[in-house]
A = this chain, B = another copy of it.
């Protein structure tokens, strides 16, 4: 029997489009004796959120399932696909996160996800009822077990689930376990996921076909990296990371394949690129505009946008003021030349002076330093939006995670944008990404001068980040321990703690940083979606009140 893994990039809510993708995939293998395996909630894309409540939504994807069913008629190849099933009993929520097996024009099996993740970025208990169906079906003389994503994670989960769906599959002598997934990517995920898959194979004493979706949906990026392991957990075949791919394998062949988790640096780069590309394109845009300050964040943002969308679709605008160093504009010019990106110039001096004078007329007082700084950031933010309004280019904002953590960013100013690619990368990671990018391309794209200069918002005379923030190495370590907390690996935790020691930081300094993080919650509530990279990112995975004291 030939198993074909379909690792596809679905768009949430686009039932017709997703059905087409699956249909095309099926047509390539419909005459094979086997099974096409698609990922979790493939028909709706993951995660549809409250779209499931929309009038006709569940109905429409059930019709799509029927169409899939029909195309299997008379063909030797079946389909395993994730969809939303109705709960036909009158107890519990009205829908299940389900798996269908389609064979020869019929649905021969229906399985309901048993463990509904409701932590971090997941909200499944909000919408679905937990399943209680059989998890084994017979197909062409094979006894096949099934699981949907979280179902295989009970044993390693810190949530102490009261049941373990895999336990129910042990000693059942299944020939194969099919696991369909929508498993979002973050640092460290591929290794952790592989460990769970390998140990699950040993527990059920059967090979596992693990199929994941790929692509970005809002904050989340799915890396694909689908694979097949044998009953000892050894990899037989694996699919690409961050790309669509289909691959077939004859179940009885046992040629060993290989799988090496993507390294952290490459993950940061490819996840950011795919996340930003899919966000922008799935929102219906093709072009973007970025404010180019001459600093490291905007430089890396521009490089990522050019990589994701093509340099012809990226416009940079440099917006110097009297506080901008000569180097800043020159560095922007050099960067944009290197990238082949168009650079526009808009000096903000005249508007800034008029705004300051008008403020004096309005209030009878001179604007304070912070007022003046924010006026500049907000004139710049508006100029980017002018370009966006005029040419239909999405503004991409550039704040990194260190800044977003402590609120070192101006709402309605440099925070303006439809999406933020760096908001889950700490400042030191942004530097590393610049160097990685230059290395990868094999020449200087991000000018060394940008990497070397002392970080500055250039909103006042001789202003540097270090005036109001600790060294970024130290800041990043404090922030990781506070925000990622016990989701960090032991090694990461030790490294961060060593950095704190090295800088001889006091408890008070650390508490001050924590307070800054808490106080900036109101800014993050109005920030554009941030492409998630770490285990704990700002956005749907971290829900905190604003009008609160803690």
A interface list, Cβ under 8 A from B: 11-14, 17, 45, 47-51, 53-55, 57, 90-94, 118-119, 123, 125-126, 159-162, 216-218, 278-279, 282-283, 317, 344-347, 350-351, 354-355, 358-359, 361-363, 365, 367-368, 370-371, 374-375, 378-379, 381-383, 385-387, 389-390, 411-412, 416, 418, 485, 522, 525-529, 540, 542-550
Contact = CB atoms under 8 A, between A and B. Distances in A.
A316 to B, nearest CB: 12
A549 B11 contact: yes
A160 B90 CA distance: 7
Q: A-B pairs with the 7 shortest C-beta distances?
A: A13-B550, A282-B547, A14-B549, A12-B548, A13-B548, A371-B389, A412-B412
25 contacts: A11-B549, A12-B548, A14-B550, A49-B544, A57-B550, A90-B160, A92-B161, A94-B160, A125-B125, A216-B547, A217-B548, A218-B545, A218-B546, A279-B547, A345-B362, A346-B358, A351-B354, A355-B386, A358-B383, A362-B387, A371-B389, A375-B382, A378-B381, A385-B412, A525-B529
Given A14-B549, A354-B351, A544-B50, A162 B344 contact: no
B346 A362 contact: yes
Contact of A416 (B90, B218, B412): B412
A217 B218 CA distance: 27
Contacts of A161: 92
A351 B353 CA distance: 10
B389 A11 contact: no
A548 B11 contact: yes
Contacts of A528: 525-526
Given A126-B119, A382-B382, A48 B389 contact: no
A370 B386 CA distance: 9
Nearest to A369: B389
Contacts of A378: 378, 381-382, 385, 412
A550 B425 CA distance: 31
Nearest to A367: B390
Contact of A160 (B92, B389, B529): B92
Given A50-B543, A91-B162, 13 more contacts: A11-B549, A49-B544, A125-B125, A350-B354, A355-B382, A363-B387, A371-B389, A375-B386, A378-B378, A378-B385, A525-B528, A525-B529, A526-B528
B344 A363 contact: yes
A457 to B, nearest CB: 15
A66 to B, nearest CB: 19
A412 B526 CA distance: 10
A274 to B, nearest CB: 12
A543 B355 CA distance: 38
Most B C-beta atoms less than 10 A away, residue of A123, A317, A347, A386: A386
A529 B119 CA distance: 23
Contact of A55 (B344, B381, B485): B485
A536 to B, nearest CB: 10
Given A14-B550, A346-B362, A412 B382 contact: yes
B548 A14 contact: yes
Given A355-B386, A390-B363, A162 B548 contact: no
Contacts of A375: 382, 386
A386 B354 CA distance: 13
B50 A542 contact: yes
Given A350-B358, A351-B358, A51 B550 contact: yes
Nearest to A522: B418
A217 B485 CA distance: 26
Nearest to A17: B549
A419 to B, nearest CB: 8
Nearest to A485: B55
Contacts of A379: 382
B283 A546 contact: yes
Nearest to A390: B371
Most B C-beta atoms less than 10 A away, residue of A279, A344, A389: A389
A355 B351 contact: yes
A381 B375 CA distance: 11
A550 B362 CA distance: 47
Contacts of A382: 355, 375, 378-379, 382, 412
A519 to B, nearest CB: 9
Most B C-beta atoms less than 10 A away, residue of A217, A351, A379, A526: A526
A403 B49 CA distance: 23
Given A358-B346, A385-B374, A526-B527, A218 B368 contact: no
Contacts of A389: 367-368, 370-371, 374
Contacts of A217: 545, 547-548
Given A217-B548, A379-B382, A160 B367 contact: no
Contacts of A367: 386, 389-390
Contacts of A118: 118, 125-126
Contacts of A543: 49-50, 123, 126, 540
A526 to B, nearest CB: 5
Contact of A12 (B374, B381, B545): B545
